[in-house]
Structure 1
Amino acid sequence: MKVLAIDTSTVIAAVAVMDDEKLLGEYSINNKKTHSQKLMGMINEIMKNLDLKPADIDVFAASIGPGSFTGLRIGVTTAKAMAYAANKPVVGVPTLDALAYNIVTSKFVICPILDARNNQVFTALYEVKDGKLERTTEYMGIPVSELVQIIRQNDKKVIFTGDAVDLHKEYFMSELGENCEFAPLGSRLQRGASVAELAIMMAKEGKLTSSFELVPFYLRKSQAEREMEKKLCGKGEN
């Protein structure tokens, strides 16, 4: 089973092609160019270098969020379009699941954190049980202070990964001390390979969908939507 996986949930653009348990190729770019400028070029390049055509791909996969609203739309739309053109199924992989999968370990609770601005993060907690990664909380968009309280209640050592590590590392160290660790730099950002491997697992479990049904998982409304609701509520009060 060949899978082409895309992750554009943050500033990282990641693409990977995996054939069951073999990683055939993986590209990642972390710079200021927009995903609309670089994503298709990356896909074309990796497919060309692997001598593959869209028809050779069995399943198309995309990281569905949470994350950047614009980035998610670009990645999901690209996967949907390619799947539709090739008449193949798609798999939507939660971004936090893929991030946690970067550092599967039985030693710590795994806590991926994505920057949600205003001292908030998108997050969830995971543990490895019987050799499998299991999410032990809901997907959350919460202040980092609230996350610390949840971790304290869990009373287990935690390893953090994700793009919000640099923003909140010192805070976590001051609040959690020796009960926190941080993933190496190469494991903190989105990887197409993690999305691809989870997609293969999900596909084998029958968790496939059509190109028409795949949608982003935003977790919460955009800032623009929240601001509009505030304005409307203010008008209603007046």
Structure 2
Amino acid sequence: MTSAKEQPRKRFLALDTATVTLGVAVTESGRVVHEINASGERNHSVHLLPIIGEALQRSGGAEMLKGITVGIGPGSYTGTRIAVTAAKSLAWSWKLPVVGVSTLQALAWGGWNAGAGSPEDAAGLGARPGEGFGPDWIVPLLDARRGQAYTALFAAQGGEAPRRLASDRVRLMADWVGALAERIEAAKAQGECPRRLWFVGETAVHGGAESLKPLEGAAELRAQPYELEGRWIGFLGEARHASGDTDDVHSLIPNYTQLAEAEANLLKAGKGGVKSR
């Protein structure tokens, strides 16, 4: 009988095109085998397959893969579809399981790791017993224009994936900041107020002092500009693959969180519609 230590390692391909960065990674047991992150949102459709080919060539080939992970958004409407379509096509062609994971959760994990990994934060990755603080909170941000952002809320989990506290949605930032202030007050009453509140990702538009002014004094505010790296999509996917919680290759769809502008305009003009389900 083969012992647990002798079990073959499982290698996975991860990809995401929901942000300005095209991220492709090959991961294995929580480590990066090879990773390529390329900027240039408008060229994702041109570069994705060649980059996947390069990543596989440098990591042993597709025959070593045990599954595929894809970021399903929310984020760029067109960009998200590119990765999801590619992941489904490859999974079907190679007869591999596929899982979709939240782009925002990966963004939160990677952005927080980038910020909290700095020397001044090395001792503050989580609350210490008796201090009256809960884990750091992480707010991923992707600009959705018109004062809105694709965002969510997570609690830092040390070396593990951030724990979700609020769903992935497109939100008006002014309202979202107010809602976060209320959540912090409620957490204070339970002795679980976060020591730090991290805003990570596309922080230039929504992570400035003026935008976050209602949160002054509620917690230590940190803004961490960050572009998504494919490894965090891969690490999220490894956990789902390990549990057997895979997606159906035909029904996996992007998480748009809202209608694309063109669809919304058609709907307003009475020329289109959406089916509820």
- TM-score normalised to the size of structure 2? 0.77
**Shift of the alpha carbon at 1:21?**
2.1
Instruction: Please state if 1:114 is matched with 2:114.
Output: no
Partners of 1:21 and 1:34 in 2: how far apart?
29
**Corresponding residue SS for 2:269:** helix
Where do 5+ consecutive residues of structure 1 fail to align? 234-238
Give 1:129 deviation, angstroms: 5.4
Q: CA deviation at 1:177?
A: 3.2
Structure 2 residue runs of 5 or longer lacking an equivalent are: 1-9, 114-124, 127-134, 185-193, 272-277
**Pairing partner for 2:240 from 202, 211, 215:** 202
Q: Corresponding residue for 2:31? A: 22
Determine if contact 2:15/2:23 at 8 Å carries over to the other structure: yes
Give the aligned partner of residue 236 of structure 1.
none
Matches of 1:19 and 1:132, distance apart in 2: 16
Count residues in correspondence.
228
Shift of 1:160: 0.6
Structure 1 residues 122 and 84, CA gap change in structure 2 (3 angstroms):
same
Give deviations 1:21-56, integer Å, cap 9, x for gaps.
Answer: 22101111113551111111111111112231x222
Q: Which runs of 4+ in 1 moved over 6 A?
A: none
Deviation at residue 232 of structure 1 after TM alignment? 2.3
Considering only CA atoms, is the larger Rg found in Structure 1 or Structure 2?
A: 2
The corresponding residue for 1:177 is 216
Inter-partner Cα distance in structure 2 for 1:173 and 1:227: 32
- Aligned partners of 1:125, 1:33: CA distance in 2, in Å? 28
- Structure-to-structure mapping, 1:1-238, within 5 angstroms: 1-31=10-40, 33-52=42-61, 54-102=62-110, 103=112, 105-106=125-126, 107-128=135-156, 133-155=162-184, 156=194, 157-163=196-202, 165-170=203-208, 171-177=210-216, 179=219, 180-183=221-224, 185=225, 188-232=226-270
In 1: Cα distance, 2:211 partner to 2:34 partner: 35
Higher relative helix content: 1
Cα deviation per residue 1:187-223 (whole Å; 9 max; x = unaligned)? x221110000010011112211232122111111111
Deviation at 1:135, TM superposition (A): 0.8
State the alpha-carbon separation in 2 of the partners of residues 32 and 2 from structure 1. 27
Cα separation, partners in 2 of 1:112 and 1:21, compared to 1, 3 Å: same
TM-score (structure 1 length as normaliser): 0.89
Residue by residue, what CA displacement relative to the aligned partner does 1:62-89 show, whole Å, maximum 9, x if unpaired?
1001111111111001111111111001
Q: Percent identity?
A: 28
Q: What SS does the aligned partner of 1:137 have? A: strand
Show the counterpart of 2:7.
Answer: none
SS of equivalent residue, structure 1 residue 211: coil
Matches of 1:94 and 1:31 in 2, distance apart?
21
Q: Matches of 1:66 and 1:146 in 2, distance apart?
A: 19
> Which residue in the other structure is 2:131 paired with?
none
* Aligned-partner Cα distance in 2 for 1:198–1:111: 17
Q: Residues 96-117 of structure 1: CA distance to partner in whole angstroms, max 9, x if unpaired?
A: 1111121254352100011111
Secondary structure, counterpart of 1:61 in structure 2? strand
